[in-house]
Amino acid sequence: MEFSILANSFNKMESTRKRLELTQFLVELFEKTPHQVIAKIVYLLQGKLRPDFEGIELGVAEKLAIRAISKSSGITIKRIEEEYRKEGELGHAASVILEQKTQTTFLVEDITVERVYETLFKIAKLEGTRSQDMKIKYISSLLNDANPLEASYILKILLGSLRLGIAENTVMDALAIAFSGNKDNRKVLEHAYNVSSDLGKVAETIATKSLKGIEKFEIILFNPIRPMLADRVKSEEEAIEKMGNNFAAEYKLDGERVQLHIEGDKVVLFSRSLENISSYYPDIIEKIPKAIQAENVILEAEAVAINENTGAFLPFQELMHRRRKYKIEKAVTQYPITVNFFDILYCNGKSCLELNYKDRREKLEKITKENEFAKHIPMTIVKNDNEIKDFFENSINAGSEGLMLKMLDKSYQAGSRGSNWLKLKREYQNELGDSLDLVVIGGFFGKGRRTGSYGTLLLATYDEDTDTFTSICKVGTGFSDENLDQLYQILNPKVTIKKNPRIDSEMGADVWFEPELVIEVVASEITLSPIHKAALDKIKKDAGLALRFPKFTGKIRIEKAVEDASTNEEIITLYKGQKKVAHDKNLI
């Protein structure tokens, strides 16, 4: 397939943010795409080469790309940098430069999607001392044969700056229309995506095997399943109202969610945001297979740091010490953990997702043997609010965050948040009722004690409809010196020259960050705001929602993807909830 078809499509898509238009452009593109390249096209659309969980990063630095442009065009580095400064985006600058140049040269051959993809793939895999030179060679050879528009998109993909703003749901809408003629079939595609986390594979399956093939799509061991999420409740009474009077309560441990894929001695671990985190937990890899009595299995557990002497649970923050590439063995002994199983998703070649909670728990207990290191998360069946309160107390005393409440007769809903699982946390007793997970989008330089760090951060919620991050508050309290240091280390490499187009904020900032980090805050209230963009126009025309007295809780949620941050829909529910409480108390 000619790469120019894709470059032209990208160009059209960049000109709009409207979902319907984007869907239409995608449908047209998919209809022109031969089946054997559709997976590659779907990855490239998202600026990727493979699904996220494979961790393949292009990682080409701007400096290197500039050298490659210079090599292929013969134009000096200085001149390219000048153009870059003027244009603000390197892909675009390159196309301007090459535009002037193509008038004097001939294109050698048409480039294909396959060739671009293979070359990018080789670049991503290069390592070692000579890799820089080889990268320049590969990039310049592509640029040699590319027209200016193609060159600009090749560079954008390489630099990670291709941002078409296409949500996964939009891709699935377009696939459903292109290959089944009916958008409603997205539901079937969603299921396939939820169990494989691989949109390219989903696209290839529907293209080659039609709707029938995608209906039969099965879990693939070592491909992560998108996790089931819980709604929040504020009180035991609210839980009873929602769940009836017979459900399971489990401790909600404050650790890292780990999805374990195991076959024999092979173990792969995925985080909640589907990143491969196996290297941080060599102890799990070594010890867990011995505790499993099945040929293959996919399990979910909470890995929790413990006090070596007493065995007591320690807060999530302790696990951060394991986030290192080197000397992980030392961290493993310094920060010991236990693995606390709470679900089973696959066993002996068969999906367990359709089984109800009770049957899954039974199977889990049968297949995993408890020992010093591997445990079953404490669980009890509760029937009334006193029993919940009792178990809640026990769980808090044991060092956990509260309870997860789960319907007994419900299946596992991969990739969705719903009321079949509810979370009841201690923090809910604060005024707002819950902590929020917000995306860091901007920063303000600190003064006094905070010089050399970001003293205040600008935070955003996630808007699922538009796939954007909408500003909701500035936060400047709750930071310890250690937090400030840590945040500076994490955020500094994320500083951008221009605000990422997915950020929606009228409020300015000293610096903008790539929206990649989630932190936890509490607040006293949600109020209407003329400045902030969260839930704009949803409650009142021309007003968004903002947090009053926000405070950082000290938790940097590195395990959360930004798309898992608190959504505007959740904020609206909380806003309405606080209104209701005030109303019930006759305050308004």
Residues 50-89, mask of contacts with ligand AMP (x by CB under 6 A): ----------------------------------------
Q: How far is the CB of 305 from ligand AMP (least distance, A)?
A: 13
Which is nearest to 280 in space by CA: 233, 237, 318? Answer: 318
The answer to whether the beta carbons of residues 269 and 256 sit under 8 Å apart is no
Q: Which two tokens stand for residue 280?
A: 């941080």
The one-letter amino acid code at 397 reads: N
Task: Please identify, using beta-carbon distances, which residue of 302 and 504 lies nearer to ligand AMP.
Answer: 302
Which span (3-11, 250-258, 263-271, 457-465) binds ligand AMP, by CB under 6 A?
250-258
Task: Please identify, using beta-carbon distances, which residue of 23 and 566 lies nearer to ligand AMP.
Answer: 566
- Is residue 473 near ligand AMP by the rule CB under 6 A? no
Calpha distance 522→444 (Å, rounded): 20
Task: Please identify, using beta-carbon distances, which residue of 68 and 436 lies nearer to ligand AMP.
Answer: 436
Q: What is the 3-state secondary structure (H, E, C) of 510-556?
A: CEEECCCCEEEEECCEEEEECCCCECCCCCCCCCEEEEECCEEEEEE
Q: Give the DSSP letter of residue 254.
A: S
Q: How far is the CB of 187 from ligand AMP (least distance, A)?
A: 24
Task: Please identify, using beta-carbon distances, which residue of 28 and 275 lies nearer to ligand AMP.
Answer: 275
Which span (49-57, 73-81, 182-190, 252-260) binds ligand AMP, by CB under 6 A?
252-260
- Among residues 120, 157, 374, 404, the one that binds ligand AMP under rule CB under 6 A: 404
Is 252 one of the catalytic residues? yes
DSSP assignments along 314-351, one per residue: --GGGGGGG--SS-HHHHHHHS-EEEEEEEEEEETTEE
- Among residues 97, 146, 249, 253, the one that binds ligand AMP under rule CB under 6 A: 253
The answer to whether the beta carbons of residues 351 and 333 sit under 8 Å apart is no
Task: Please identify, using beta-carbon distances, which residue of 528 and 572 lies nearer to ligand AMP.
Answer: 572
Rounded (5°) CA angle 378-323-304: 10
The one-letter amino acid code at 282 reads: P
Which span (28-36, 247-255, 460-468, 542-550) binds ligand AMP, by CB under 6 A?
247-255
Q: Which of 135, 201, 252, 375 is catalytic?
A: 252
Which is nearest to 260 in space by CA: 295, 284, 283, 280? Answer: 284
Q: CB atoms < 10 A from the CB of 100, how many?
A: 12
- Is residue 250 near ligand AMP by the rule CB under 6 A? yes
- Reduced to 3 states (helix: H, G, I; strand: E, B; else coil), residue 583 is helix
- Among residues 173, 190, 236, 302, the one that binds ligand AMP under rule CB under 6 A: 302
- Is residue 3 near ligand AMP by the rule CB under 6 A? no
Element containing residue 379 per DSSP (H, E) = strand 379-382
Position closest to ligand AMP via CB? 257
Q: CB atoms < 10 A from the CB of 73, how many?
A: 21
- Is residue 272 near ligand AMP by the rule CB under 6 A? yes
- Among residues 423, 474, 533, 555, the one that binds ligand AMP under rule CB under 6 A: 423
Residues 361-380, mask of contacts with ligand AMP (x by CB under 6 A): ----------------x---
- Is residue 10 near ligand AMP by the rule CB under 6 A? no
Q: How far is the CB of 319 from ligand AMP (least distance, A)?
A: 11
With CB under 6 A as the rule, give the number of residues binding ligand AMP: 11
**Could you give the C-alpha distances from 50 to 42, 158, 198, in angstroms and in order?**
9, 14, 8
Q: How far is the CB of 505 from ligand AMP (least distance, A)?
A: 24
List active site positions: 252
User: Which residues of the chain form contacts with ligand AMP (CB under 6 A)?
Assistant: 230, 250, 252-253, 257, 272, 302, 342, 377, 404, 423
